[in-house]
Amino acid sequence: AQSVTQPDIHITVSEGASLELRCNYSYGATPYLFWYVQSPGQGLQLLLKYFSGDTLVQGIKGFEAEFKRSQSSFNLRKPTVHWSDAAEYFCAVGRGNDMRFGAGTRLTVKP
């Protein structure tokens, strides 16, 4: 069965530090992979996506993610976190109408 796991419910990092948010998936076919960000009370905004080619993808706001097929992972990274990055982050995998979302990782940024 298709599933997405985000092992970290909540992460706290200091402003200026680096960030890595983990995402593991189980999917029968080669999936398309996405990372979304959600501010409180708002909809989801796409940060980046992967469907083929270079396994390191760049997104908006300085985020990047690396697809590792052998580990079924698609981890999100940012070298330097800003206070405005505080939000909830969702990993999603799927094809067509079959999109599965992780439970989310809430990011807190300390000054």
Among the listed residues 36, 63, 67, 89, the single contact to another protein using CB under 8 A:
36
Q: What is residue 9's DSSP assignment?
A: S
Q: Which is nearer to another protein, 17 or 46 (CB)?
A: 46
Q: Is 72 left (phi over 0), alpha (psi -120 to 50) or beta?
A: left
11 makes contact with another protein (CB under 8 A)? no
Q: CA 74, CA 91: separation in Å to the nearest integer?
A: 8
Which one of residues 41, 54, 69, 111 is an interface residue with another protein (CB under 8 A)? 41
The verdict on 32 binding another protein (CB under 8 A) reads yes
- Contact criterion met (CB below 8 Å) for 91 and 73: no
Give SS3 for 59.
coil
From the list 31, 86, 39, 37, the residue with the least C-alpha distance to 60 is 37
In the complex, what is the shortest distance from the CB of residue 70 to another protein, in angstroms, rounded to a whole number? 21
Is the Cβ of residue 4 or residue 81 nearer to another protein in the bound state?
4
Where along the sequence are the contacts to another protein (CB under 8 A)? 4, 9, 32, 34, 36, 41-46, 49-51, 90, 96-97, 99, 101-104
